[in-house]
Amino acid sequence: MNTPATTTLNIQALRDQFPVLHQQVNGRPLVYFDNAATNQKPKRVIDALARYYQGYNANIHRGIHTLAEKATQEFEQTRDAMQRFLGAAHREEIIFVRGVTEAVNLVANAYGNAFISKGDEVIISGLEHHSNIVPWQMLCERQGAVLKVIPVLDSGELDMDAYRALLSPRTKLVAVNHVSNSLGTINPIKEIITAAHEAGAVVLVDGAQAAAHEEIDVAALDCDFYCISGHKMYAPTGVGVLYGKRALLEKMPPYMGGGEMIKEVTFARTTYNDLPYKFEAGTPNIADVVALKEAVAFIDEIGKGAIAQHELSLLNYTVAQLQQINGVRLIGTAAHKVGVQSFVIDGIHHFDVGQMLDTRGVAVRTGHHCTQPLMERLGVEGTVRASFAVYNTHAEVDQLIEGLERIVNFLKP
């Protein structure tokens, strides 16, 4: 399925940076395999939050006192860090949001309402999270546009021939994920973008599951919008980034009105602020934006190549072990994946599997993973999903496998 990999990282030293990992759950050492939902936070990120609140808690941009200037400096340094992290040409192309959900809704409303009309077509894929489905459904309902879906193959990969056939002069926007949250499939995102541009469409990429694992260069990809969530890349919850090409962002009307996104307000009219502040109405999530910079530094210091190599080693090891358990069926067998594996056990409900693993200290995700249409396509109600981060170990995989074997032996007739 994937090329075997080995790792040279000092995993124990990395684990020592994550306070939450050093605890017992139900009397057993915690094994945390729910990283695709949210991963844990290194102490440097937690310390950054504490430093802000303990040392320079103040609102940003408009204050002239020392604390406000310090807070503004730290906040804007994160914008610079995210510009480098994503490979954006301009710092003004980095918009802070709560996460991918808000980013997609921002584009669906600000871009979609202005540039998508009755009879136009929006293409998404059958691999999408609900957050990259529902906003486009709402847009199409408002505007009278048509929503089309790229089919998914049995392997969990996109049918690229079908995608090309869907493209037409009416296609105005394509919105797809870089990596599937349910299956770990890495989509051929550059190929998707190129084909969409040839048809005259703009492209939004949901990078929530890619940010901590895959190299991202928005300039090389030539995507029009790219969005990430901090909580899936070792940063706090409630903070994320929308990248947009400057020319597009300039044309888009604001998504929200209020303070910060204005230059001048009278009761007769309002003049909007320049980028990026036009899309950052109200007091932002200052502390978590500041801490996001530390998460980026954590990833950069390890290197995404080393992270991917380690996680791929875990994935290959897990797949090999799962295939030895009677009744286990792998869901999602794409040729190119990140460290995510979904599976079901014949005759045992996925919720029961998750609960029984929890009694042994093993945290996995069960259910439809906010991808109900994908589950229906694959013929399952839901799955058990194990997802890996840089701090996970092969010994932890052994604990997962041992737990699954006990469950199968106990419940099977």
DSSP, residue by residue, 120-173: -EEEEETT--GGGTHHHHHHHHHHT-EEEEE-B-TTS-B-HHHHHHH--TTEEE
Residues 316 and 339 sit within 8 Å (Cβ to Cβ): no
Q: What is the pLDDT of residue 413?
A: 54
CA distances to 206, 392, 405, 407 from 398, rounded to whole Å, are 32, 11, 10, 14
Rg (CA), the chain: 22
Q: What is the model's pTM?
A: 0.95
H or E element at residue 360: none
Residues 109 and 138 sit within 8 Å (Cβ to Cβ): no
Q: What is the pLDDT of residue 6?
A: 47
Q: What is the pLDDT of residue 263?
A: 86
Residues 349 and 368 sit within 8 Å (Cβ to Cβ): no
Catalytic residues: 370
Residues 93 and 82 sit within 8 Å (Cβ to Cβ): no
Domains of the chain: 11-32+303-411 (3.90.1150.10), 45-300 (3.40.640.10)
Phi and psi for 41 in degrees, rounded to 5? -115, 130
The tens place of each residue's pLDDT in the chain, 413 residues long, gives 444 444 579 999 999 999 999 999 999 999 999 999 999 999 999 999 999 999 999 999 988 899 999 999 999 999 999 999 999 999 999 999 999 999 999 999 999 999 999 999 999 999 999 999 999 999 999 999 999 999 999 999 999 999 999 999 999 999 999 999 999 999 999 999 999 999 999 999 999 999 999 999 999 999 999 999 999 999 999 999 999 999 999 999 999 998 888 888 889 998 888 999 999 999 999 999 999 999 999 999 999 999 999 999 999 999 999 999 999 999 999 999 999 999 999 999 999 999 999 999 999 999 999 999 999 999 999 999 999 999 999 999 999 999 999 999 877 65
CA distances to 15, 108, 166, 179, 181 from 195, rounded to whole Å, are 42, 21, 11, 18, 23
Q: What is the pLDDT of residue 409?
A: 87
